[in-house]
Chain A
Amino acid sequence: MVTLRSPALYVDIGTMSLNSDEVRRIAQLARLAVDDREAEGFAAGLSDIFDFVEALDAAEIGGVEPMAHPLDAEQRLRPDAVTEPDQRELFQAIAPAIDGGLYLVPRVIE
């Protein structure tokens, strides 16, 4: 299974390949419709990608600091000020359904 291990910033894929059950679970989490035949294909394809990435395991990274971003730069900050005007009418012009200023979506049961 794909796991994220603390505290290093990488996905530990180990030496595993994905089976179709795992593909279906990941698809469910991502709300992607994947049928059984496709799941088989993705399992093979994604496993190939993992194998490819696994080549990185051969690299010596003992003295390398984990990297969260490829750019060697730090986050710029903006001052705390309101700069965005109200554009509700503009944004809601493309919404499929609105009512009283609210965006409407199919009912979500808590």
Chain B
Amino acid sequence: MQWETVIGLEIHTQLNTVSKIFSGAATAYGAEPNRQACAVDLGLPGVLPVLNAAVVEKAVMLGLAIDARIAPRSVFARKNYFYPDLPKGYQISQYELPIVEQGYLDIDLEDGSRKRIGVTRAHLEEDAGKSLHEGFTAMTGIDLNRAGTPLVEIVSEPDMRSAKEAVAYMKKLHALVRYLGISDGNMQEGSFRCDANVSVRPRGRTEFGTRAEIKNLNSFRFVERAINFEVERQIDLIESGGTVVQETRLYDPDRDETRSMRSKEEANDYRYFPDPDLLPVVIHAEDIEAARRRLPELPDAKRERFISAYGLSAYDAGSLTASRELADYFEAVAAGCNAPKLAANWVMGDFSAALNRSEAGLAQSPVSAEALAQLLSRIQDETISGKIAKEVFDAMWSGEGEADAIIEARGLKQITDTAAIDAIIDEVIAANPSQLEQYRSGKDKLFGFFVGQVMKKTRGQANPAQVNERLRARLQGD
């Protein structure tokens, strides 16, 4: 039987405020345990939550960026469950009236087409604390620094049909929140994590199969692998006569499999009700307009501009706009050397490769956009060849200084003096009489050999176009 996969994603993004959603405690990552957990976060009696204005503004920006409806009135609700890292016994979330509804994201598929993925809703909520199970005897340690950290949960429609589409959607949303500057998107630190709802159905059927929810996927690779595993598991199960049960599963990256979590049948009734401690959140038209003015150029618009303004291919423009930092870096290089295509090739090529090798972020790059622009200018004005430029770039990356200084210190300036090039060509010809004879008797392929010898003698510094031209003339006996 032919099976079709149906995937919907719930993505939790931590909003990058300095204080918590309902308290004035700090949100900085990596503090000592419980140094950033105040009376509100601890759920002590008598405290009241007060909503952080920046949280609302960031949610509105997200809503605008996905072309969603911003609710003029939204309501916080209590989601009740018992767990020690949730001291109040309920999480403040939004249920029936979320702040953002009905948006979409367009994703690019491998075949070059676009697909629209619906976003059902995005709602605000507080994060829980952390439980530490190791290192204690019969006890669990609770760190409530994370309790009350603002999250926006973005829920997609079940519009994705493969793990690849799910990853494309997740990457697009990840890039978007970073463009908007509403989240650092740091997946290692848990600022951007994903639950995947996965089901299968016979191709052609319209109703959905029973879904399993895979929890807490914190990397693009895990999302893809977990979904692929889960799809296989469900198909195998159905084909061998079983039925999929609706349950929560956990992905184990070490074993590359999903397994059933403790049945939550009993615990799954969260008994949501409006939180009486919080009034309805009213968003006025002028608040929305203020948020709209704060929107930066968004990835799709930037991509279109890169294509039209710089003459880049759709693929190159897509790669360069994958992150705002990379796009900004590229634009600074392009402006500095006045050669956008050369800048694009270098930023996506040698620069990105060096960055990947060093495992550093763009912000830690040892080669600034200005420095790279200077290097590319030297290719443009023919001070050095593209090949020598790679050597200079490596030296710049290891901290040897600016391009001009390295070219000077290493004597890498391109040889463009015709007389000097002629003299080297003559030396090469004189040293290789048999190759010369073969070339002249019709073995044209040996031309490459002579070019290679000349470049070797000049340590790659001779202007390649000039070498070609002069060598051809010399070999023909002119």
Inter-subunit contact B136/A107 (CB<8 Å): yes
Q: Contacts of A83 on B, CB cut-off 8 Å?
A: 19, 24
A28 touches B53 (CB 8 A): no
Tell whether, in the assembled complex, residue A74 and residue B35 are in contact, meaning their CB atoms are under 8 Å apart. Answer: no
A80-B280 in contact (CB<8A): no
Q: Assess whether A110 is in contact with B97, with CB atoms less than 8 Å apart.
A: no
B133-166 interface code vs A (CB 8 A; 1 in, 0 out): 1001011111110000000000000000000000
Q: Report chain A residues within 8 Å CB of B23.
A: 84
B279 to chain A: closest residue by CB: A75
Which residue, of A83, A99, A103, has the highest number of chain B Cβ atoms within 10 A? A103
Q: Does B266 lie within 8 Å of A104, measured CB to CB?
A: no
The closest CB in chain A to the CB of B130 belongs to A102
- Contact yes or no, A78 B83, CB < 8 A: no
- Decide: A84 near B25, CB < 8 A? Known: A91-B39, A97-B139: yes
B281 in contact with A104 (CB, 8 Å): no
> In the complex, what residue of chain B is closest to A11 when comparing beta carbons?
B273
Residues of A within 8 A of B142 (CB): 102-105
Are A103's CB and B141's CB within 8 A?
Answer: yes
B53 & A80 in contact (Cβ 8 Å cutoff): yes
Indicate which residue in B52, B97, B139, B266 contacts A68 across the interface (CB closer than 8 Å): B97
Q: How far is the CA of A110 from the CA of B84 in the complex (A)?
A: 12
Q: Say yes or no: is A76 at the interface (Cβ < 8 Å to chain B).
A: yes
Contact B271 A101 (CB under 8 A): no
**Tally of A-B residue pairs with Cβ under 8 A?**
142
Main secondary structure of the interface of B (DSSP, over half): loop
- Inter-subunit contact B138/A107 (CB<8 Å): yes
Q: Give the contact stretch, choosing among A1-9, A12-20, A35-43, A44-52.
A: A1-9
Known contacts A75-B279, A105-B84, A82 near B24 by CB under 8 Å: yes
Number of A positions contacting B (CB below 8 A): 42
Within 8 A of B (CB), among A71-105: 71, 73-84, 86-88, 91-92, 97, 99-105
The reply to whether A104 and B140 contact each other, CB–CB distance below 8 Å, is yes
B326 within 8 Å of A by Cβ?
no
Stretch from B26-34, B332-340, B405-413 that touches the partner: B26-34
- Tell me if B84 and A108 are in contact (CB < 8 A): yes
18 A-B pairs within 8 Å (CB atoms) are namely A4-B273, A7-B96, A69-B279, A78-B51, A78-B52, A79-B52, A80-B18, A80-B54, A82-B25, A84-B38, A86-B35, A91-B34, A99-B136, A101-B34, A102-B33, A103-B34, A103-B84, A107-B133
Residues of A whose CB lies within 8 Å of any CB of B are: 4, 6-9, 11, 25, 28-29, 31, 68-69, 71, 73-84, 86-88, 91-92, 97, 99-108, 110
Q: Which 5 A-B pairs have the closest CB atoms?
A: A83-B24, A102-B141, A80-B54, A77-B53, A101-B33
* New A-B pairs, 9, CB < 8 Å, besides A80-B53, A84-B24, A103-B84: A68-B280, A69-B274, A69-B276, A71-B279, A75-B282, A76-B279, A82-B19, A101-B143, A108-B83
